[in-house]
Structure 1
Amino acid sequence: MWKFSIRRILIMIPQMIFLSILIFILAKMMPGDALSGMVDPNVNPERLDEIRENLGWNNPWHVQYADWVGGVLKGDLGQSFRFKMPVTDIVGQRIINSFWLSVLTLIFTYAIAIPLGIISGRYNDTILDQSISGYTYLGFATPLFIFALVMLWVFGFTLGWFPTSGSVTPGLQPGTFEYFMSKLNHLILPSISMALITTVSTVQYLRNEIIDTKQKDFILTARAKGASESRVYNRHILRNSLLPIAAFFGFEITGLIGGTVFIETIFGYPGMGLLFYESILLRDYSVVTAVTLLFGIASIIGALLSDIILSLVDPRIRIK
């Protein structure tokens, strides 16, 4: 197990190097920079060129990349030209919000997916199963941003049950119970909106696993020996069907990354996704590259977690 984990971690090193190069090159290929689009007639274009030269933006890409990587290794993600502050400070302010949004989304995802998948798989080909399958098909066909807009309009603007933007009510003192409840209230609607869409693949996978396990020889043998139906499901079918679900935990984290960009933008939730979107509009490429790099590293780590969990579930896949 340790050999497998160490080898898998070592594979991450070239992945991260390639990821950093790709992100940097793509950012440099984007048109314009943070100084582009200034329409103030009093701004001298020669002065803008001088600023670009002083910032090193006119250097060859490999020189800029080396400077950028050197700063990243030291914990310096650069300076935001638009926000006038270090990128590390900006990310530090937003990453906590995105973390709690992802945690609550994962809780809702598994709280919804596991019961629905178990019911649908156990009572397959019934009206109940067809209803759950209909929900999953509808979820597969519905774009996340469309569903989020509907949820915001219904439960935010029409019914007024949840806040429509922000992460906490202004004026509350951090550390108080009211502050905590306000943070939670701002999290519920965006997290459950994302969970209701992302959960459909888990429901279908668990359903299919249960149906497939019910037909295995050891299940037929357990029934032939007189084991009760509840014992067969709880001790054999359900246990074997849930193990592969745990292996996809890391991939669930990866899937959340793309979803948070839409969710945080629609709900005005100040997290990493909204920061990424705003930085692209402002052409603040130091922030864009930093956030994209963090998203990419999170995806790589998510895949690593999935491989490790899957190796625990099924030791046959371990690298010898």
Structure 2
Amino acid sequence: MWKFTLRRILIMIPQIILLSILIFILAKMMPGDALTGMIDPNVSPERLEELREKLGWNDPWHIQYADWVGGLVQGDFGQSFRFKMPVTELIGERIVNSFWLSVATLIFTYLIAIPLGILSGRYNDSLLDQTITGYTYLGFATPLFIFALVMLWVFGFMLGWFPTSGSVSPGSEPGTFAYVMSKINHLILPAIAMALIATVNTVQYLRSEIIDTKQKDFILTARAKGASESRVYNRHILRNSLLPIAAFFGYEITFLIGGTIFVETIYNYPGMGLLFFESITLRDYSVVTAVVLLFGVAAILGALLSDIILSLVDPRIRIK
């Protein structure tokens, strides 16, 4: 087990290095920079060019990359020219909101997906199963940003059950109970919007696992020995069907990364996804590269976590 984990970590290191190179090169290939299109008419093009030369933006890309990586090693992601603050501090302010939004989304996802998957698999080919399967097909066909907009319009604007923007009500004092409840109230709607789409994969996979497990020999043997139906499901079918679901926990991180970009932008929720969108529109590429790198590392770590969990569930997949 430890050999497998160490081998996967060693494979992950060149992936992160290659990812950082691609991110940096693509950012440099994008048109303009943080000084492009400055509103102040008193700043001449010559002065802007002097600033670019002073900041090293005219250096060869490999020199700029080496300087960038040197800053990353020291925990310095550079300076945000649009937000007028260090990128590290800016990300520190936003990443907390995205973390709690992701946690809430995962909780809602499994609270919805596991019961639906169990019911659909246990009563397959029934009307209940067809209804749940229809929901999953609808979820597969519905883009997340469309569904999030509909949820915002219905539950935010029409019914007024949830706030329509922000992460906390203005004037709330940090550390108070009202502040905590306001934070929770602001993240429920975007979390549910993401969770209802994220559940469809888990529901379908769990349904297939239960149906497949019901037909295996050890289940037929348990029934032949006179075991009750509830015991067969609880002690044999569910136990063997739920374990592979744990392996997909890491891959849920990848969905959350893409989902937060759309959902946080739609709900104006101040997290990493909204920061990424704002930085692109403002050409604040020091922030863009830092956010994309963190997203990429999170996705790689999610895949590593899934592989480790899957190796615990099924030791046969471990590399010898």
User: How big is the shift at 1:38?
Assistant: 2.6
- Please state whether the residue corresponding to 1:95 is helix, strand or coil: helix
Q: Matches of residues 111-190 of structure 1 in structure 2 within 5 Å?
A: 111-190=111-190
Q: 2:194 aligned with 1:194, yes or no?
A: yes
User: How big is the shift at 1:37?
Assistant: 1.6
Q: Tell me which amino acid in the other structure corresponds to 1:163.
A: P
User: How big is the shift at 1:41?
Assistant: 3.3
- Please state whether the residue corresponding to 2:43 is helix, strand or coil: coil
Find the aligned partners of 1:308 and 1:41 in 2 and give their Cα distance.
56
Give the aligned partner of residue 294 of structure 1: 294
Per-residue CA deviation, residues 103-141 of structure 1 (Å, 9 max, x unaligned), is 000000000000000000000000000000000000000
Give the aligned partner of residue 81 of structure 1: 81
User: How big is the shift at 1:85?
Assistant: 0.6
Give the aligned partner of residue 217 of structure 1: 217
Give the aligned partner of residue 258 of structure 2: 258
Moved over 6 A (4+): none
Q: Percent identity?
A: 84
Give the aligned partner of residue 23 of structure 1: 23
Give the aligned partner of residue 42 of structure 1: 42
- From the superposition, tell whether residues 39 and 81 of structure 1 become closer, same or farther in structure 2 (CA, over 3 Å): closer
Q: 2:28 aligned with 1:33, yes or no?
A: no
Q: 2:70 aligned with 1:70, yes or no?
A: yes
Per-residue CA deviation, residues 21-63 of structure 1 (Å, 9 max, x unaligned), is 0000000000011111235432210000000000100000000
Q: 2:123 aligned with 1:102, yes or no?
A: no
Find the aligned partners of 1:264 and 1:172 in 2 and give their Cα distance.
21
Q: Tell me which amino acid in the other structure corresponds to 1:280.
A: I
Q: What TM-score do the two structures reach when normalised by structure 2?
A: 0.99
- Please state whether the residue corresponding to 1:319 is helix, strand or coil: coil
Please tell me the root mean square deviation across aligned C-alpha atoms, in Å. Answer: 0.7
- Please state whether the residue corresponding to 1:41 is helix, strand or coil: coil
Q: Tell me which amino acid in the other structure corresponds to 1:178.
A: A
Structure 2: runs of 5 or more not aligned: none
Find the aligned partners of 2:281 and 2:263 in 1 and give their Cα distance.
17
Find the aligned partners of 2:42 and 2:81 in 1 and give their Cα distance.
19
Give the aligned partner of residue 273 of structure 1: 273
Find the aligned partners of 1:59 and 1:256 in 2 and give their Cα distance.
36
Q: Tell me which amino acid in the other structure corresponds to 2:21.
A: I
Moved more, 29-38 or 104-113: 29-38
Q: Tell me which amino acid in the other structure corresponds to 2:37.
A: G
Moved more, 35-44 or 127-136: 35-44
Find the aligned partners of 2:13 and 2:201 in 1 and give their Cα distance.
30
Q: 2:44 aligned with 1:52, yes or no?
A: no
Aligned length: 320
Find the aligned partners of 1:46 and 1:248 in 2 and give their Cα distance.
54
- Please state whether the residue corresponding to 1:202 is helix, strand or coil: helix
Find the aligned partners of 1:83 and 1:207 in 2 and give their Cα distance.
48
Find the aligned partners of 1:113 and 1:183 in 2 and give their Cα distance.
25
Find the aligned partners of 2:90 and 2:149 in 1 and give their Cα distance.
27
